[in-house]
Chain A
């Protein structure tokens, strides 16, 4: 431009003066100060200054005079930083235009300069919104820089860092301001997110790259992670999808779901996301990921081509990611969303089972996928509160196909679902047995415990064990049927609620165990599992009642072997005998009743010498053929054991009641029904002894209000009169009759009863200590007699009934003395006689 220096306006002269005549001299500091002062004092000129600078820098750039470009940028930055006024807005326009032009240059140093300037600009907080500013180009260009692949590693790294920093600047500049360009827009996020991820993933591309100045040794990897965190922490609910979609796409495209390198990338990325995202949004991430999984399995079902194997692995990868991050979201999710997650996980399991039927699918991969989904379920359940775990267990069991179905897929689904149930149940900490087994859960579970498939049965037993075990004894008992000493168990007396539960559901549970033993396809593992369940039962419900119940069951089981109609193989007979022996051994250990121990030991010894196959830990290959004949002395004797229990103060009445006379399958069902009948009264009893609220309700139902009112209004007056009269008569009688008559009268009434009672007390076993005996003779009898006297006498009761009325009370007190003597006479008949 051919303008002479003198004619140009002041701002132009000042700007020109900043540049030295010789580029080597560097920027003219004093003149820059003058320019800054000018800009500050007359801010209205800022836009002109900016425009002129832009013009000059563009010219220098075109002429490849890079030194001048650098100087011009420095001056612009200085002005930008010093002048914090409203009119900065116009200056910024030219500033950004300059940066734009610099970024178009192919020279790396110029690009670096531009990003540095941009980062500086992004750190300035503007108070005036600028609606028309566009960052499209910056986002595009910075994203491109992030992918720089310059042959020189140092340049590559610097340029990538520049790109990342630029993106960070853009994010910082725009995210916080709602009026700014919508950075969350798809077009921008599709560029920003993959760029960040690419640098996260690409940390090995610059291998062993050592920075000479390690003080600020930030690698693209670190910067990218930092940037991702910043982005995620600022995301709002509405924008989560637009941010996560590119992530999912990137992971899909680069096949990173199942990649172990670098460092299980997908997992680490999602963990970073979950760490930095606001808590309340973490659930949305899970949802989106879940949807992606749905999509994947849908597309897999549509196309059964060669790639389906790969997609199975991808699905496994997604499920792995889910299981590793789902814990974070569990704390935040509540109510229906929980079930939604569980439901879709279960749906994936079911689909996977269906896939399993296809021949083309790689079974190993599919199996792994199932395992992973189950894991995810477990992880999720683990972080839910306990009451929700129960809900989830009920939910899962409601999805299990009924035990009656025998299609292969259904059995497999049963197996898988029960496995997931087991996973959840291991995370549940049982406090109260009845809470752990609500009827909605217990009944289907019991039904499943009789499934045809032996593996399913084992899983059900495992679930029982997990939920029963409250004192950490499971690991000690989780062993094959054995006679070896069991490590000291952690035993606590059962709570009242537990006993209530046992009364209610115990027979059911035990009869299911009994039925379980009868299956013809039982394997040794089945017996082991049943043994462990029984043992846990015994320990968790340690009460006398349970003990007798268990013993009863054991004897029924033993009797079962005698029954020939059962289709049990020889080895299964043996297994049952072993189980009985081991369990009785355990009980003997637990109860430590000497007689019981002795009997058990003796039988075991006999078996050891005569029929070792009836004992656990016996090598089954050496089994003899003659094992079918079992003499009585090899069996545990019910009489002896019940005697032993009785002697140690247990109630053995139950033990002796025959539960079933024969153990055949047909009869057993009948037997169960009779036991059920037998327990009807117990059920009633239990409701009566349950907390008072229920009982009250029942009574209220019977008496309606009208009845009550009638009763209060009418009956009371009549009855009161009648009673009053009778009382007066009695009083009169006692007042008038003489003492001898009274004594005779009372003796006549009570003589028979008295003697009967005395006889009875005499017969009582002499359990008490010697002075207790004296006590019984001297005091007990008279007390009883008094009570009976009072009952027969009738007066005292009347007095008590009417005690509320003030007047009668007084009268009772007034006439107390006359009866004192008769009472005494009754109490000590010997003295008075």
Chain B
């Protein structure tokens, strides 16, 4: 039963051991395990949020950071609504490899050539482990995020659950905003059948409720 207004696919990427899986676990299961094993391939989680009274479902694909899984993880970029690039603020190398990741994003989201950076994949930069001793200053990361057209930058801690909920809420809000404006654009500009599927979904939900009450 499609009881949600929006469904967004979110993909976590970043070097191995920066805490992607821990962030996801913290969000979906509210737990933290210090001895988290390395992810193999791709992991999958669901998180439902309410944004402005609308039910938003987040499909979270947690990819392996290890290089050897690059080929399979990259194949998940394409269909994503939002890419979260994670680095470890206590590890300079993980920050240094960010340009490399940015190139991959451009390559594999299918945005690169067609419409530059303004395509509607929502890019987020996250500095994790902000409970630890800092190696990467915040302003440098913020600058980096600006220069590379990231839509959002945030520092989080999966251990202390700092900013985790907020991160996802902001993402969800932004995505909802974005798709709503897009929807209105498409509806007003061209009355074709390319109307966002979610609109019909919402109608259906309402109808079903009406049905129930009438019976």
State the A residues within 8 Å of B (CB). Answer: 1-3, 7-8, 54-55, 57-59, 97, 101, 104-106, 136, 140-141, 143-144, 146-149, 151, 186-187, 190-191, 194-195, 198, 246, 249-250, 252-255
Instruction: Flag if A106 contacts B1 (CB, 8 Å).
Output: no
- Chain A residues contacting B43 (CB-CB under 8 Å) are 144, 147
Give every chain A residue within 8 A of B42 (Cβ-Cβ): 140, 143-144, 147
Q: A190 and B75: CB pair below 8 A?
A: yes
- List 5 A–B pairs whose Cβ atoms lie within 8 Å, in order of A's numbering: A55-B1, A147-B42, A190-B74, A198-B72, A255-B68
Chain B residues near A (Cβ < 8 Å): 1-3, 28, 37, 39-46, 59, 61, 64, 67-72, 74-76, 78-79, 212, 215
Q: Once the chains bind, are A7 and B215 in contact (CB under 8 Å)?
A: yes
Q: How far is the CA of A27 from the CA of B75 in the complex (A)?
A: 41
Q: In the assembly, what is the distance between CA of A158 and CA of B67, in Å?
A: 26
Contact partners of B68 in chain A: CB under 8 A: 253-255
Q: Is the CB of B72 within 8 A of A191?
A: yes
Q: How far is the CB of A98 from chain B (nearest CB, A)?
A: 9
Could you say which residues of chain A place their CB within 8 Å of the CB of B40?
147-149, 198
Contact residues in A for B45 (Cβ distance below 8 Å): 106
Q: Which residues of A contact B28 (CB under 8 A)?
A: 106
CB-CB under 8 A from B215, the residues of chain A are 3, 7-8
Q: Which of B1, B39, B74, B76 contacts A149 (CB 8 A)?
A: B39
- Asked if residues A187 and B75 are in contact (CB atoms below 8 Å), the reply is yes
Kindly state the separation between the CA atoms of A45 and B39 in the bound complex, as whole angstroms. Answer: 45
Contacts of A104 in B (CB 8 A): 44, 46, 59
Q: Is the CB of B61 within 8 A of A144?
A: yes
Within the complex, the shortest CB–CB distance from B5 to chain A, in Å, comes to 15
* Distance between Cα atoms of A151 and B33 in the complex (Å): 13
Tell me, rounded to whole Å, the shortest Cβ–Cβ distance linking A808 to chain B. 97
User: Which residue of A is nearest B212, CB measured?
Assistant: A1
CA distance A717 to B70 in the complex (A): 98
Chain A residues contacting B71 (CB-CB under 8 Å) are: 190, 194, 246, 249-250, 252-253
Chain A residues whose C-beta falls within 8 Å of the C-beta of B39 in the assembled complex: 149
Q: Are B2 and A97 interface neighbours, CB within 8 A?
A: yes
A58 touches B3 (CB 8 A): yes
Complex: chain B residue closest to A141, CB-CB: B44
Query: Which residues of chain A are within 8 angstroms of B59 by Cβ–Cβ distance?
Result: 104
Contacts of B67 in A (CB 8 A): 253
Task: Out of B2, B3, B70, B72, name the residue touching A143 (CB < 8 Å).
Answer: B72
Name the residue of chain A whose CB is nearest to the CB of B59: A104
Query: Which residue among B37, B69, B72, B215 has the maximum number of chain A CB atoms within 10 Å of its CB?
Result: B72
Q: Is the CB of B41 within 8 A of A187?
A: no
Interchain nearest-CB distance for A374 vs B (Å): 31
Given contacts A144-B61, A149-B39, A187-B79, contact A253 B44 (CB under 8 A): no
Q: Do B1 and A253 touch across chains, with their CB atoms under 8 A apart?
A: no
Closest residue on chain B to residue A187 by CB atoms: B78
Knowing A140-B79, A187-B79, say if A253 contacts B69 (CB, 8 Å). yes
A105-B76 Cα distance, complex, nearest whole Å: 19
Residues in chain A near residue B72, CB distance under 8 A: 143, 147, 190-191, 194-195, 198, 250
B residues in contact with A149, CB < 8 Å:
37, 39-40
Is there an interface contact between B75 and A144, defined as CB atoms closer than 8 Å? Answer: no
Please list the 7 inter-chain residue pairs (A to B) with the smallest Cβ-Cβ separation, ordered nearest first: A147-B41, A190-B75, A58-B1, A194-B72, A249-B71, A144-B42, A147-B40
B72 CB → nearest A CB, Å: 4
CA of A198 to CA of B72 in the docked complex: distance in angstroms?
Answer: 10
Considering only CB atoms, which chain B residue lies closest to A202 in the complex? B40
Query: B75 — which chain A residues lie within 8 A by C-beta?
Result: 186-187, 190-191, 194
Shortest distance between the CB of B114 and any CB in chain A (Å): 16
Q: How far, in whole Å, are A184 and B43 apart by their CA atoms in the complex? A: 23
Q: In whole angstroms, how far apart are the Cα atoms of A149 and B44 in the complex? A: 12
Q: How far is the CA of A147 from the CA of B41 in the complex (A)?
A: 5
Taking a contact as CB atoms closer than 8 A, the residue among B2, B41, B44 that contacts A198 in the complex is B41
Report B194 CB to chain A, min CB distance, Å: 14
Contact between B44 and A144, CB atoms less than 8 A apart: yes
Question: Which single residue of chain B is at the shortest CB-CB distance from A3?
Answer: B215
CB distance from A562 to the nearest CB of B (A): 72
In whole angstroms, what is the CA distance A254 to B39 when docked? 15
Do residues B212 and A3 form an inter-chain contact, with CB atoms below 8 A?
yes
* A174 nearest CB across to chain B (Å): 17
With both chains docked as a complex, state the minimum distance between the C-beta of B207 and any C-beta of chain A, in angstroms.
Answer: 12
**Contact between A140 and B76 (Cβ–Cβ < 8 Å)?**
yes
Chain A nearest CB from B112 CB (Å) reads 15
Instruction: State the Cβ distance, A144 to closest chain B Cβ, in Å.
Output: 4
Interchain CB contact under 8 A, B3 and A195 = no
- A512 → chain B, closest Cβ, in Å? 56
Q: Report the separation of the CA atoms of residues A527 and B44 in the bound assembly, to the nearest whole angstrom.
A: 72
Q: Which residues of B contact A187 (CB under 8 A)?
A: 75, 78-79
Shortest CB–CB separation between residue B159 and chain A, in angstroms?
Answer: 21
B208 → A minimal CB distance (Å): 8
Question: How far apart sit A147 and B78, CA to CA, in the bound complex (Å)?
Answer: 19
Which B residues lie within 8 Å of A141 (CB)?
A: 44
14 additional contacts (CB under 8 A) given A3-B215, A147-B41, A195-B41: A3-B212, A144-B42, A147-B64, A147-B72, A149-B40, A187-B75, A187-B78, A190-B75, A194-B41, A194-B72, A194-B75, A198-B72, A253-B67, A255-B68
**A146: which of B1, B37, B41 is its contact (CB, 8 Å)?**
B41
A31 to B37, CA, bound (A): 48
Chain B residue nearest to A146 (CB atoms) is B41
Among A58, A141, A147, the one with the most B-chain Cβ atoms within 10 Å of its Cβ is A147
Residue of B1, B59, B79 ringed by the most chain A CB atoms within 10 A: B1
Q: Which residues of A contact B212 (CB under 8 A)?
A: 1-3
Give B38's nearest chain A residue, CB to CB. A149
* Residues of chain A with a CB closer than 8 A to B3's CB: 58
Chain A residue at minimum C-beta to C-beta distance from B75: A190
Q: Given the complex of chains A and B, what is the CA–CA distance between A149 and B75 in angstroms?
A: 20
- Please give me the residue from chain B that is nearest to A101 by CB atom: B1
A198 to B43, CA, bound (A): 15
Report the separation of the CA atoms of residues A363 and B69 in the bound assembly, to the nearest whole angstrom: 31
- Return the contact of B70 from the options A1, A97, A198, A253 (Cβ within 8 A): A253
- Max count, chain A CB within 10 A of own CB: residue among B28, B40, B64, B69: B40
Q: Please, which residues of chain B bring their CB within 8 A of the CB of A254?
A: 68
The distance in angstroms between the C-alpha atoms of A252 and B71, with both chains bound, is 9
Task: Determine how close the nearest CB of chain B comes to the CB of A146; give it in whole angstroms.
Answer: 7
Contacts of A151 in B (CB 8 A): 37
Minimum Cβ distance to chain A for residue B147 (Å)? 27
Query: Complex Cα distance A106/B42, Å?
Result: 14
Q: Which of chain A's residues have a CB closer than 8 A to the CB of B64?
A: 147
- What's the least CB distance linking B26 to chain A, in Å? 15
Pairwise interchain contact B1-A143, C-beta atoms closer than 8 A:
no
CA distance A146 to B59 in the complex (A): 18
Please name all residues of chain B whose beta carbon is closer than 8 Å to the beta carbon of A250 when the two chains form the complex. Answer: 71-72
Report whether B1 and A54 are in contact in the complex, using a CB–CB cutoff of 8 Å: yes
User: Measured between alpha carbons, how far is A253 from B72 in the docked complex, in Å?
Assistant: 10
Please give the distance in Å from B105's CB to the nearest CB on chain A.
16
Q: Which residue from chain B places its CB closest to the CB of A194 in the assembled complex? A: B72
Q: In the bound complex, what is the Cα–Cα distance between A250 and B73 (angstroms)?
A: 11
C-alpha gap A7/B75 in the complex (Å): 50
CB distance from A613 to the nearest CB of B (A): 65
Q: A97 CA to B7 CA in the complex, in Å?
A: 14
CA distance in complex: A255, B71 (Å): 13
Q: How far is the CB of B174 from chain A (nearest CB, A)?
A: 23
Instruction: List the B side residues contacting A8 at CB < 8 Å.
Output: 215
B79 → chain A closest CB, angstroms? 6
Q: How far is the CA of A254 from the CA of B28 in the complex (A)?
A: 31
By a CB distance below 8 angstroms, the chain B residues around A190 are 71-72, 74-75
Q: How far is the CB of A216 from chain B (nearest CB, A)?
A: 25
Q: Complex: how many Å from CA A190 to CA B59?
A: 20
Q: Which residue of B1, B37, B76 is within 8 Å of A59 (Cβ)?
A: B1
Q: Which residues of A contact B2 (CB under 8 A)?
A: 97
Residue of A141, A148, A191, A250 contacting most chain B CB atoms (<10 Å): A191
Complex Cα spacing A57 to B1, Å: 8
Compute how far the CA of A190 lies from the CA of B75 in the bound complex, rounded to whole angstroms: 6
Chain B residue contacts of A136, Cβ below 8 A: 79
